[in-house]
Amino acid sequence: MKRKPIIAGNWKMFKTVAQSVTTALDLKSRTYNANHCEVLIAPVFTALKTVADRLEGSQIRIAGQNCAAEAAEGAFTGEISAEMLADAGCTHVIIGHSERRQYYNETNALVAKKLVRALTAGLIPILCVGETLAERDAGQAEAVVTSQVLEGTRSLTAPDLFRIVAAYEPVWAIGTGRAATPEIAQSMHRLIRSVVQEKFGSEAAQQLRILYGGSVKPDNIASFMNEADIDGALVGGASLDAETFSKIVFFHNQN
């Protein structure tokens, strides 16, 4: 099955509102003709609405980097609901990023709740999974990722799988300059697809887009995109600069 690639930029906790707008508009002018893939950026919360407004009419989609696990609104100081992200102009939301799991103790159970909230709000969640270096060294990478997928999707039904995206981001490859080899990434992506297939059926599994994340750069993106089960990238550091990120968007020119 042909799956349309997604090239997503996770800006993490970088950029002021003004800097976010500048980068977003620069990216817009560099990628207006990128019809071969979906382009997505995830600015900080405070910049979402302004960036979304300034990008109106462009094909760049906006994602939140996280959302609340609770209600659409309520007494949850400091939280932002999926509905509020949609209201600010988001179409997607990143859920369960390893930095959330590591630094904010997000569990698979919490990730499962957030996925439901995102879907209820009409957002497309990007479910992130990935093992740490210690887990890989201990031979547990497959088991960890399998349980992240199964537990994270435990409240979902097969039709829900048509409205989510997955991302494999090995923790040891994030921000380290040490990307996974395409072979390792491919074998983990194939595992994720087979786990989804077993639980939700082959149609759901075959259409599911699985992004690779971890030190993606213009000079290695093509090697990942050549793999059968890699359907795009979730890019951190290299997405902060519009020129660099647009080279990743046009991955087929980077061979």
Question: Which residues of this protein are in contact with ligand 13P, per CB under 6 A?
Answer: 10, 97, 169, 174-175, 213-216, 234-238
Annotated active-site residue in 97, 99, 106, 135? 97
Residue 158 sits at φ, ψ, to 5 deg, of: -55, -45
CB of 214 to ligand 13P, least distance (A): 5
CA distances from 218 to 39, 185, 242, 245, 254 (A): 15, 17, 12, 8, 7
Identity of the amino acid at 228: A
Q: Has 97 been annotated as catalytic?
A: yes
Annotated active-site residue in 38, 92, 169, 189? 169
CB of 126 to ligand 13P, least distance (A): 9
Task: Kindly write down the DSSP assignment for every residue of 106-139, as one continuous string.
Answer: --HHHHHHHHHHHHHTT-EEEEEE---HHHHHTT
Cα separation, 206 vs 191, in Å, equals: 12
CB of 213 to ligand 13P, least distance (A): 4
CB of 243 to ligand 13P, least distance (A): 16
Cα separation, 241 vs 152, in Å, equals: 32
Q: Has 252 been annotated as catalytic?
A: no
Q: Residue 174 contacts by C-beta under 8 Å, 6 or more apart in sequence?
A: 98, 99, 130, 213, 214, 215, 236
> Alpha carbon 176 to chain centroid distance?
18
Closest-by-Cβ residue to ligand 13P is 236
Active-site positions read 97, 169
